[in-house]
Amino acid sequence: MSAGGLGEVETQDALLFTGQEPLVLESGARLDEVEVAWECYGELNAERSNAVFVCHALTGDAHAAGHHGDPARRGWWDRLIGPGRPIDTDRFFVVSPNLLGGCQGTTGPSSVNPQTGQRYGLEFPMFSVRDLNTVHRRLLDHLGIGRLHAAIGGSLGGMQALQWAIDDPMAMELCVAICASARLSPMNIAFSTVAREAIMRDPDFQGGRYHDSERHPNIGLAVARMMAHITYLSEESFMEKFGHERRVDGAEPGLGPDYEVEHYLHHQGASFLSRFDALSYLYLTRTMDYFAPFEEEGIDAKLAGNPTKVLAISFSSDWRFDAGHSGFIVDRLKAAGWDAEQVDVESPWGHDSFLLDVPEYHELVAETLVSGELPA
């Protein structure tokens, strides 16, 4: 990571939907109060034309860059966002919100339902990727931002940016969808259903009412996270990071963690519990499962004449959403006359590459954002 990232930043929040003006979801369901948390970095220019909107992945949050007081602990995309970094805060005004259904400042299933005074739990309505954008469009209105220079995100974040570009031809000049998918494969959905099963069948899940007790579905959520984490890496990155190293060389063989890779995964599972909520995990994975923008009725007519430029970036070792997912998006958009390009970047780190130092990827993002043009 280059020196000189952003300094201390703060998360802001606002109540953007209220009983007078509720959030109406695609399904028709209503949420009477929706609070949104976000961070922003850099300065909005006088023309209000330099806004870059960051969409986070499944378990991300608004804290994408800088730090909250401890310079050693920085936001999840600090490698990409900052002065002179690929999403250059000397040029761009970067907005990074937590999404609807999340658990880090924006209203989600563990929030209190103002109508009952109780947390929603499983009564929280199902929502779509489109609904995420309805909320974030409101945030932009609140910030006085019209058209975006770009929306950019990885994984679910890329799916969100893609949906936004499709739904609103004037929303952004550029859409950068990184290791995204326009339709989870049945195998992707299979991993998600096992994760949800682990959570919902944990006896401490208590039908989603665990917040009222001291028992949370920690075992199910940790197992779900451990499994998902495997799918974010690659055979190659596992081998490079861990090989067959054991924590204690010459230890007695046993059933508990022994190899370093096991200790690592156990740590991933345990540390996830302090930062994520089981209900949000259920809802957000399900929102991804149902995402299918190109299968909607009337999609061909809807795609026509959209000037948004779309860059889809995939990574060679990503087997969760492999290059075929990005290729499908670009093929479909090009067939509808869009200006769209895929770049498959060589990287050994699997799906997680979008969070890591992959120079070709960083350069690609930087050049595309600055030029406003897709790579040739």
**Given the residues 88, 131, 277, 318, the one annotated as active site:** 318
Collapsed DSSP state (helix, strand, coil) of residue 53: strand
Q: How many residues bind a second copy (CB under 8 A)?
A: 52
In angstroms, rounded to a whole number, what is the distance separating the alpha carbons of residues 280 and 119? Answer: 13
Active site residue 331: no
CA distances for 266 relative to 21, 26, 30, 43, 217, angstroms: 44, 38, 39, 41, 16
In angstroms, rounded to a whole number, what is the distance separating the alpha carbons of residues 245 and 260? Answer: 6
Residues 196-225 that bind a second copy (CB under 8 A): 196-198, 200-203, 219, 222-223
In angstroms, rounded to a whole number, what is the distance separating the alpha carbons of residues 368 and 366? Answer: 6
For a second copy, the closer CB: 175 or 198: 198
Give phi and psi for 368, each to the nearest 5. Answer: -70, -40
Residues 249-288 that bind a second copy (CB under 8 A): 253-257, 259, 261-262, 265-266, 269, 282-283, 286
Instruction: Provide, rounded to whole angstroms, the least separation between the CB of residue 263 and a second copy.
Output: 9
For a second copy, the closer CB: 224 or 364: 224
Instruction: Provide, rounded to whole angstroms, the least separation between the CB of residue 173 and a second copy.
Output: 32
**Residue 199, number of CB atoms within 10 A of its CB:** 25
Cβ-based burial of 68 (10 A; exposed 0-12, middle 13-18, buried ≥19): middle
Residues 22-81 that bind a second copy (CB under 8 A): 27
In angstroms, rounded to a whole number, what is the distance separating the alpha carbons of residues 146 and 170? Answer: 9
> Among 32, 44, 206, 242, which residue sits at the site for a second copy (rule: CB under 8 A)?
242
Q: Name the segment binding a second copy (CB under 8 A); options: 3-11, 85-93, 154-162, 228-236.
A: 228-236
Identify any residues that bridge with 340 across adjacent strands, giving them in sequence order: 310
Residues 175-194 that bind a second copy (CB under 8 A): 183, 185-187, 189-191, 193-194
For a second copy, the closer CB: 146 or 243: 243
Instruction: Provide, rounded to whole angstroms, the least separation between the CB of residue 75 and a second copy.
Output: 27
In angstroms, rounded to a whole number, what is the distance separating the alpha carbons of residues 158 and 152? Answer: 6
Cβ-based burial of 113 (10 A; exposed 0-12, middle 13-18, buried ≥19): middle
Q: For the chain, count helices (H), then strands (E).
A: 10, 12
Identify any residues that bridge with 151 across adjacent strands, giving them in sequence order: 53, 175
Active site residue 155: yes
Active site residue 142: no
Instruction: Provide, rounded to whole angstroms, the least separation between the CB of residue 334 and a second copy.
Output: 23
Instruction: Provide, rounded to whole angstroms, the least separation between the CB of residue 248 and a second copy.
Output: 14
Does residue 156 bind a second copy (CB under 8 A)? no
Instruction: Provide, rounded to whole angstroms, the least separation between the CB of residue 217 and a second copy.
Output: 11
DSSP per residue, 171-190: SEEEEEEES--SS--HHHHH
**Given the residues 155, 192, 314, 317, the one annotated as active site:** 155
Residue 260, by phi and psi: left (phi above 0), alpha (psi -120 to 50) or beta?
alpha
For 112, the token pair is 């209190």
Length of the chain (residues): 376
For a second copy, the closer CB: 61 or 131: 131
> Among 12, 113, 319, 331, which residue sits at the site for a second copy (rule: CB under 8 A)?
319
Instruction: Provide, rounded to whole angstroms, the least separation between the CB of residue 114 and a second copy.
Output: 23
Q: Name the segment binding a second copy (CB under 8 A); options: 17-25, 160-168, 239-247, 339-347.
A: 239-247
Contact partners, residue 83, CB within 8 Å, separation at least 6: 4, 5, 6, 89, 90
> Among 72, 244, 250, 376, which residue sits at the site for a second copy (rule: CB under 8 A)?
244
Residues 115-134 that bind a second copy (CB under 8 A): 122, 126
CA 95 to chain centre: 14
Q: What are the residue numbers of the active site? A: 155, 318, 351
Site for a second copy, rule CB under 8 A = 27, 122, 126, 183, 185-187, 189-191, 193-194, 196-198, 200-203, 219, 222-223, 226-227, 230, 233-235, 238-239, 241-244, 253-257, 259, 261-262, 265-266, 269, 282-283, 286, 289-290, 292, 319
